[in-house]
Amino acid sequence: MNSVVFGHGRLTVEDIVSIAKTKQPVEISNSEVFSQRIDSAVNFLDTLLKEDGVIYGVTTGYGDSVTTEVPLNLVEELPLHLTRFHGCGLGDYFNDVEGKAILATRLASLSQGFSGVSWDLLNLLVAFINYDVIPAIPQEGSVGASGDLTPLSYVAGALVGERDVYFKEQVVNSKVAMEQLNLKPITLRPKEGLAIMNGTAVMTALSCLAFDRAQYLTKLATRITSLSSLALKGNSHHFDEILFSVKPHQGQQQVAARVRDDLNHHEHPRNADRLQDRYSIRCAPHVIGVLADSLPFFKMTIENELNSANDNPIIDGVGEHVLHGGHFYGGHIAMVMDSMKTAVANLADLADRQIASLVDTRYNNGLPSNLSSSCDERRFINHGLKAVQIGASAYTAEALKLTMPASVFSRSTECHNQDKVSMGTIAARDGLRVLQLTEQVLASTLLASIQALRIRVRNNELSLASLSPELIHMYEDIAEYFEDLCEDRPLESVLRLTVDYIQQQRWSLYE
């Protein structure tokens, strides 16, 4: 695989996702312009220290302790203390994919060349990524300004050999992992502890992973709508091209076009017994389209943050400036993730209403109760997908509950120095949880729609040949591992497998 080059051009969401999930290697730019930015910032900091310059976090304490001057004989120890006293994170740990995305995102910021970090630090971060030495980072403890201090302290602590990492499917001290790879822990230079920790890398990394999942769910919810419409004998004219031409949201129009193509509406238009289907089918493009139309803005905003220098202070070595500001503030990521989780939760709500119609004989247009294929004499004791539908409603309720925006819960912290904070990392974590719950709802509705179509096909009420090849392929793939539900059986394993397939993006949708 070609390496992703840091320090040369803009990085994309896809770069971070690929590094985190596919082991794509990384490297540092060897351009003269990049080298000059790195070298000049380091040399400028060294010059300032010799001249007794006052630099926040280098010759002063941190945060509210900015008024505390640090004696020059202790300056070298200051960054190590920053990594240690922030080692107080709690909660579950980010997994290795999330941890690797965090490493890559922090490297992206430091590679802008305005953080005053050394080649040793950059090269060790590259080695950690390429050798899969992934810091074990607790999820809880960041308010999103001054950036992700506590979780990123686990990155800094791992680089100096004092924290645990995931390595070769084990959790070991980072020093042990480095010894096996002939790597040496770094000694943090002045400003380097702050450079690693004072930024938005955790929330931005999570938002890259979340974007990738949300983009896929937009397509999957569209495909499930197509399957559900067929299963319910829906009216394909609800997705008519002329109809959608008069409401010009591009994402919404794209969703309608995809359903139209799935149903092969051009050759086999379908009229339902009802003039108008219920909203969960008829208005599905309008629901899914909100997320589809929001994704480009989400991507642009995430990538702007990804390609930013977001620590403090900013070190302009070429122009010889130390610029004190607040680029660690994660407001843009907080806004993206608060918005994304709301749009994604609406996909869960949509799919939950679709499965509710599929299992209910009052609304499913002749399908058996709870989609059980049980024969007549055994139908009294078989309950099909009844509990699966209950589960889908439970996941949906939890997803909807989590849509309260995190960014409005700013708390004044750290002696009122951090008196307005972003809560971006909490928003990102909420977003990942909403994605997980929505994937569970979509898995439930996907299986229900396949079971319903299986019944229609068996009863000669539907010809698969009349549908698009892509939809037929997906139906046949799922029907192969999800056997006909004739007798009640535990469905946990097939649901978990379907969720895994969704997260692996097993089905290529609408390429």
Q: What is the CATH number of the domain that holds 261?
A: 1.20.200.10
Position 415 confidence tier, pLDDT thresholds 50, 70, 90:
confident
Residues 488, 379, single domain; the answer is yes
**Interval 185-210: pLDDT, tens:** 999 998 899 999 999 999 999 999 99
Q: Is the pLDDT of residue 73 over 80?
A: no
Given the residues 56, 363, 501, 510, the one annotated as active site = 56
Q: What mean pLDDT is predicted for residues 317-322?
A: 92
**Amino acid of residue 507:** W
- Report residue 314: phi and psi, to 5°: -85, 130
Q: What's the pLDDT at 382?
A: 87
Residues 380, 425, single domain; the answer is yes
Q: Look at residues 169, 199, 229 and tell me which one is the last residue of a structural domain.
A: 199
Contacts of 188 (CB under 8 A, 6+ apart): 79, 80, 83, 121, 156, 159, 160
Q: Is the pLDDT of residue 178 over 70?
A: yes
Give the domain CATH number at 180.
1.10.275.10
Q: Which helix (H) or strand (E) holds 167?
A: strand 164-167
Please list the alpha-helical segments (H only) found in 51-187.
78-85, 96-110, 119-130, 149-159, 174-180
Residues 259, 302, single domain; the answer is yes
Q: What mean pLDDT is predicted for residues 505-511?
A: 94
Q: What mean pLDDT is predicted for residues 379-396?
A: 94
Residues 212, 159, single domain; the answer is no
Residues 243, 111, single domain; the answer is no
Among candidate residues 429, 424, 356, the one with its CA nearest the CA of residue 396: 356
Q: What's the pLDDT at 45?
A: 87
Residue 509 lies in a domain: no
CA 124 to chain centre: 26
Q: What mean pLDDT is predicted for residues 432-448?
A: 98
**Interval 99-126: pLDDT, tens:** 999 999 999 999 999 999 999 999 999 9
Residue 510 lies in a domain: no
Residue 314 lies in a domain: no
Residue 271 lies in a domain: yes
Residues 275, 345, single domain; the answer is yes
Q: Look at residues 173, 199, 225 and tell me which one is the last residue of a structural domain.
A: 199
Whether 56 sits among the annotated catalytic residues: the reply is yes
CA distances from 92 to 111, 356, 471, 511 (A): 29, 33, 38, 36
Give the separation between CA 220 and CA 406, rounded to whole angstroms. 27
- The three-point CA angle 103-107-109 to 5° equals 125
Residues 375, 485, single domain; the answer is yes
Range of the domain at 486: 207-309+321-410+417-504
Residues 258, 336, single domain; the answer is yes
Identity of the highest mean pLDDT range in 40-54, 260-274, 434-448: 434-448
Q: Is the pLDDT of residue 140 over 90?
A: yes
Residue 304 lies in a domain: yes
**Amino acid of residue 97:** V
Answer positive or negative: Cα dihedral of 322, 324, 325, 328.
positive
Residue 511 lies in a domain: no
Q: What is the mean pLDDT of the chain?
A: 94
Residues 121, 228, single domain; the answer is no
Residues 70, 109, single domain; the answer is yes
Residue with tokens 């949708």: 509
Please list the alpha-helical segments (H only) found in 162-234.
174-180, 192-197, 201-231
Among candidate residues 331, 240, 345, the one with its CA nearest the CA of residue 285: 240
Residue 315 lies in a domain: no
Omega before 393 within 30 of 0, i.e. cis = no
Give the separation between CA 25 and CA 2, rounded to whole angstroms. 7
Total domains in the chain come to: 2
* Strand partners of residue 28: 6
Position 64 confidence tier, pLDDT thresholds 50, 70, 90:
low
Among candidate residues 245, 266, 217, the one with its CA nearest the CA of residue 442: 217
Identity of the highest mean pLDDT range in 50-64, 65-79, 144-158: 144-158
| Higher pLDDT among residues 258 and 82, named by residue | 258
- The SS3 of residue 137 is coil
| Higher pLDDT among residues 69 and 29, named by residue | 29
Residues 485, 421, single domain; the answer is yes
Structure tokens at 425: 């990392």
Q: Look at residues 163, 181, 199 and tell me which one is the last residue of a structural domain.
A: 199
Structure tokens at 383: 């309950």
Q: Is the pLDDT of residue 66 over 70?
A: no
Q: What's the pLDDT at 101?
A: 98
Q: What mean pLDDT is predicted for residues 488-504?
A: 97
Contacts of 221 (CB under 8 A, 6+ apart): 284, 288, 347, 350, 351, 442
Residues 103, 146, single domain; the answer is yes
Q: What mean pLDDT is predicted for residues 342-351?
A: 98
Residue 316 lies in a domain: no
